[in-house]
């Protein structure tokens, strides 16, 4: 069977109901001749036992992916006519090494930043503002509101000017989700950008990330994105949808990755090019900009672990918390020992929601009896929302809507790309297994 289809694109159906499309490769040395090796479109090779194939046919290769390329100008030589505003909030991207202690401390002035990266001026005229200087672990819903209000004011007074928010990386994913909910139908792009290594270190990623963010800010992408290195080298940056991005490594330059979802765009700062990776990207709009900048500080995120008791939930409810996002296990489970505390929380009109500590995949509380009992108790499933995004969303909903039924309805509804129902196999990363 394999020779006939070698290097051809085939569609296969297996006994187990799997449908696979890809290119037939020569037999992989480790596996016996009983297998057909298929290269999937995402680069994975998989082996299918020939015995398990119930149908195989050659199919046409699909046309090359349609990429929409945004380029500063045809020859990438002149800069954008749009200006950009950089808002410094703190973090490594605005930090220097303290030679006394060897550690990193924040710098405060905007001019220092521009001096360090003169190439920025080749992309766009910029203005700078430094309304705060906060390590990102100190950000709270109060600071989300402050930043959202600063951005809203800018977008209202200068709707043509893109915005870059320089932010510490530790909680940048939370702030990007906060701004995604707070600011909708953007007249100009909003990019959050940070650095994993400070700007006076030779391996700093500040310049590369800021150049990419500047390019994003001059585009017509009407979304809040995190713009950071896409790989460990200076090849491309990625713009990640603000509700989909997570810091996945403590120190790598490509620590920020989109989860359960594709990034919005690849950005090549030296070539002044943006390659869009999705078809559902919102464009900037001249009308309809909405700012709802309140966040409740009475929402908690708690991670379930074996042996955990319901005490913490009781404690939070007694403290007046109005929302509790649980990071449960698997498809959305916790021990039923917590059930009474959860019921009590729901009775007292707290909203209890379920996310998964697996990070990848989606909540489905209908499969096992534990999930069904939690649903009956009033726990809201969070689909494929990131736990961090779910926490921010509930804080935003409780900050802006008084009707608890409206909050519940909006929580389970996709608002700004935080929930996706179409799943792509490629969104799960490829792990190294010693090949």
Nearest 5°: CA angle at 345, between 361 and 400? Answer: 75
| Smaller CB separation from a second copy, 126 or 183 | 183
Listed ranges 81-89, 112-120, 158-166, 231-239: which one lies at the site for a second copy (CB under 8 A): 231-239
Q: Residues 161, 176, 261, 159: what is their CA dihedral angle, to the nearest 10 degrees? A: -20
| Smaller CB separation from a second copy, 47 or 378 | 47
Tokens of 383: 């689909």
From the CB of 99, what's the least distance to a second copy, in Å? 14
For this structure, is 169 an active site residue?
A: yes
| Smaller CB separation from a second copy, 210 or 268 | 268
Q: Based on the shown chain and the rule CB under 8 A, indicate whether residue 402 belongs to the binding site for a second copy.
A: no
| Smaller CB separation from a second copy, 340 or 366 | 366
Q: Based on the shown chain and the rule CB under 8 A, indicate whether residue 2 belongs to the binding site for a second copy.
A: no
Q: Based on the shown chain and the rule CB under 8 A, indicate whether residue 116 belongs to the binding site for a second copy.
A: no
Q: Based on the shown chain and the rule CB under 8 A, indicate whether residue 23 belongs to the binding site for a second copy.
A: no
Of positions 2, 158, 185, 335, contacts a second copy by CB under 8 A: 335
Any idea what DSSP says for residue 314?
A: H
Q: Based on the shown chain and the rule CB under 8 A, indicate whether residue 181 belongs to the binding site for a second copy.
A: no
Q: Which of 233, 282, 271, 232 is nearest to 255 (CA)?
A: 232
Of positions 22, 90, 263, 310, contacts a second copy by CB under 8 A: 263
CA distances from 186 to 135, 205, 240, 286, 433 (A): 27, 27, 16, 8, 43
Q: How many beta carbons lie within 10 A of that of residue 271, not counting itself?
A: 12
Q: How many residues bind a second copy (CB under 8 A)?
A: 122
Q: Based on the shown chain and the rule CB under 8 A, indicate whether residue 214 belongs to the binding site for a second copy.
A: no
How far from each other are the two terminal CA atoms of the chain, in whole angstroms?
A: 26
Q: Based on the shown chain and the rule CB under 8 A, indicate whether residue 5 belongs to the binding site for a second copy.
A: no
State how far the Cα of 8 lies from the Cα of 411, in Å rounded to an integer: 45
Of positions 89, 169, 206, 293, contacts a second copy by CB under 8 A: 169
Q: Based on the shown chain and the rule CB under 8 A, indicate whether residue 235 belongs to the binding site for a second copy.
A: yes
For this structure, is 170 an active site residue?
A: yes
Of positions 344, 368, 401, 414, contacts a second copy by CB under 8 A: 368
Listed ranges 31-39, 109-117, 153-161, 285-293: which one lies at the site for a second copy (CB under 8 A): 31-39
| Smaller CB separation from a second copy, 137 or 349 | 137
The string of DSSP codes covering 93-128 is GGEEE-TTTSSEEE---HHHHHHH-TTHHHH-EEEE
State how far the Cα of 357 lies from the Cα of 299, in Å rounded to an integer: 18
Give the three-class secondary structure for 378. coil
Of positions 132, 275, 291, 339, contacts a second copy by CB under 8 A: 275
Q: Based on the shown chain and the rule CB under 8 A, indicate whether residue 353 belongs to the binding site for a second copy.
A: no
| Smaller CB separation from a second copy, 135 or 401 | 135
For this structure, is 279 an active site residue?
A: no
416, burial (CB in 10 Å: exposed 0-12, middle 13-18, buried 19+): buried
Tokens 């499969």, located at residue: 367
Cβ(164)–Cβ(171) under 8 Å?
no
The string of DSSP codes covering 31-56 is S-TTEEEEE-TTS-EEEEEGGGEEEE
Tokens 């403590």, located at residue: 250
Of positions 6, 156, 367, 412, contacts a second copy by CB under 8 A: 367
What lies within 8 Å, CB to CB, of 214 at 6+ separation is: 84, 120, 123, 124, 126, 164, 269
Residues from 131 through 150 that contact a second copy (CB under 8 A): 135-144
Of positions 165, 211, 301, 416, contacts a second copy by CB under 8 A: 301
Q: Which of 311, 307, 355 is nearest to 331 (CA)?
A: 355
State how far the Cα of 194 lies from the Cα of 207, in Å rounded to an integer: 10
| Smaller CB separation from a second copy, 364 or 414 | 364
Catalytic residue among 84, 89, 124, 169: 169
Residues from 41 through 100 that contact a second copy (CB under 8 A): 42-44, 46-49, 52, 65, 98
Of positions 2, 79, 234, 414, contacts a second copy by CB under 8 A: 234
Q: Based on the shown chain and the rule CB under 8 A, indicate whether residue 157 belongs to the binding site for a second copy.
A: no
Q: Based on the shown chain and the rule CB under 8 A, indicate whether residue 195 belongs to the binding site for a second copy.
A: no
Catalytic residue among 82, 145, 247, 272: 247
Tokens of 331: 């498809």
Catalytic residue among 41, 125, 170, 314: 170
From the centroid of its chain, how far is CA 231?
A: 16
From the CB of 218, what's the least distance to a second copy, in Å? 20
| Smaller CB separation from a second copy, 55 or 409 | 55
| Catalytic annotation, residues | 92, 169-170, 247
């Amino acid at each position: 069977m394999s020779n006939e289809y070698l290097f051809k694109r085939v569609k296969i159906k297996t006994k187990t109901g799997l449908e696979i499309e890809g290119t037939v490769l020569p037999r992989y040395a480790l596996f016996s001749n009983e297998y057909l090796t298929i290269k999937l479109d995402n680069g994975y090779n998989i082996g299918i036992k020939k015995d398990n194939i119930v149908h195989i046919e050659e199919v046409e290769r699909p046309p090359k992916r349609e990429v929409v390329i945004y380029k500063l100008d045809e020859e990438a030589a002149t800069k954008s006519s749009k200006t950009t505003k950089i808002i410094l909030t703190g973090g490594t991207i605005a930090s220097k090494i303290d030679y006394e202690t060897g550690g990193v401390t924040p710098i405060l002035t905007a001019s220092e930043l521009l001096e360090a990266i003169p190439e920025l001026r080749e992309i766009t005229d910029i203005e700078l503002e430094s309304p705060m200087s906060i390590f990102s672990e100190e950000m709270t819903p109060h600071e989300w509101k402050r930043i959202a209000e600063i951005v809203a004011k800018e977008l209202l007074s200068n709707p043509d000017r893109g915005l870059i928010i320089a932010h510490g990386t530790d909680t940048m994913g939370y702030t990007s989700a906060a701004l995604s909910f707070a600011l909708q139908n953007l007249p100009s792009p909003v990019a959050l950008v940070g650095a994993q290594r400070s700007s006076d270190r030779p391996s700093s990623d500040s310049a590369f990330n800021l150049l990419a963010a500047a390019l994003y800010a001059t585009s017509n992408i009407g979304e809040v994105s995190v713009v950071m290195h896409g790989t460990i080298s200076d090849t491309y940056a990625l713009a990640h949808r603000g509700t989909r991005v997570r810091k996945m490594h403590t120190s790598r330059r490509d620590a920020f990755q989109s989860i359960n979802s594709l990034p919005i765009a690849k950005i090549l700062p030296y070539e002044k090019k943006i390659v869009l990776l999705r078809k559902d990207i919102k464009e900037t709009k001249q009308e309809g900009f909405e700012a709802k900048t309140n966040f409740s500080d009475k929402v908690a995120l708690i991670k379930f672990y074996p042996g955990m008791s319901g005490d913490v939930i009781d404690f939070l409810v007694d403290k007046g918390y109005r929302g509790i996002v649980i990071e449960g296990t698997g498809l959305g489970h916790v021990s039923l020992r917590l059930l009474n505390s959860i019921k009590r929380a729901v009775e007292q009109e707290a909203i209890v929601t379920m996310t998964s500590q697996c990070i990848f995949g989606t909540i489905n509380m209908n499969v096992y009896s534990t999930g069904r009992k939690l649903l009956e108790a009033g726990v809201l499933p969070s689909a494929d929302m990131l736990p961090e995004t779910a926490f921010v969303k509930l804080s935003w909903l409780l900050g802006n809507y008084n009707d608890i039924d409206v909050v519940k309805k909006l929580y389970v509804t996709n608002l700004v790309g935080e929930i996706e129902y179409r799943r792509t196999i490629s969104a799960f990363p490829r792990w190294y297994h010693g090949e």
